[in-house]
Amino acid sequence: MHLNYESGEMHESVKHNLLENAGMEGYYDVVKMTKKGDRIIYNNHITITKIPKKAFDYVVNGKSAIDWVIERYQKTMDKDSLIENNPNDYAGGKYVFELLCRVIKLSEKSVDLIEKISEKRFE
C-alpha cells in the first residue's frame, strides 16, 4: 500500500475548489500550504476541504503524513547559496497537488488497517 504512494488513488470525498482557469500555467503551483481544521489552503486558487479527521491520525515520526507533505513541499531558498528548491518544477507542476490528495487517501486507509489489526486477537 505504501510502496506505490505516488501512483495510488486520490481521495474521492475530499473537495477542492477550483477556479475556471485550471488549465493556465502555474495554476497548481504551491508556495506554502496552510492547514486550518479539516481544510488545507493549497494556494490562491485551490482549497482542499472536507478532509476526514481520520486522515490526520496517521502519524509518521511524530507528525501526520499530511503535515509532512505540507511542511516539505513548499518553495524555499537556501540563504547562503541562493539555490531555490521549487517543488512545482517536478512532473508538470500538478505533482504536489496530486501527491497531497493521494497521501490523504493513503493515511485514511492506513488508519483503517491499523484499527482492523488492533481488533485481532493473536494467541
What pLDDT is attached to residue 20?
63
Averaged pLDDT score across all residues of the chain? 85
Confidence of residue 18 (pLDDT cuts 50, 70, 90): low
- What is the Cα–Cα distance from 46 to 19, expressed in whole angstroms? 8
Which among 10, 7, 29 is positioned nearest to 107, based on CA atoms?
10
pTM of the full predicted structure?
A: 0.82
Residue 17: its pLDDT value, please?
64
Domain ranges for the chain: 5-119
Dist. CA 12–CA 35, nearest whole Å: 19
Residue-wise pLDDT tens digits, 72-119: 999 999 999 999 999 988 876 789 999 999 999 999 999 999 999 888
